[in-house]
Amino acid sequence: MFQSDTRKENIDEDEEVIGSIVGIVEDINSGEFGRVEHSGSSWQARAEGDQTILKGEQVKIIGRDNITWIVQKI
């Protein structure tokens, strides 16, 4: 059985994306999911803590939880 490099690629991708400034394309209400746009694609996101972030605002990607980017207002 061969070891997969997929996990390493995902880690590298995280390092490239975390810290990026992106736009909100669907409101993120406190405790709920919304969407951000990064590299021409829409991604599921949630806000850090108890924040509501509205469509059109800019946020910083600070982490990832499975397939969801974690963002904070800037």
Q: Tell whether 27 is covered by a domain.
A: yes
Residue 19 in tokens:
């810290």
Q: What are the phi and psi torsion angles at 48 (to 5°)?
A: -70, 135
Query: Are the CB atoms for 35 and 27 separated by under 8 Å?
Result: no
| 72: pLDDT strictly greater than 90 | yes
pTM comes to 0.81
- Phi and psi at 7, nearest 5°, equal -60, -45
Residue 12's domain spans which residues? 6-73
The total of structural domains in the chain comes to 1
Given a cut of 80, is residue 11 above it in pLDDT?
no
pLDDT at 34: 98
- Alpha-carbon distances, residue 69 vs 1, 2, 23, 62 (angstroms): 32, 30, 12, 8
- Residue 55 is given by DSSP the state T
Classify residue 29: in a domain, yes or no: yes
In a domain, 1, yes or no: no
* pLDDT one-digit tens code per residue, 13-70: 788 899 999 999 999 999 999 999 999 999 999 999 999 999 999 999 999 999 999 9
CATH number at residue 53: 2.40.50.140
Higher pLDDT among residues 9 and 70, named by residue: 70
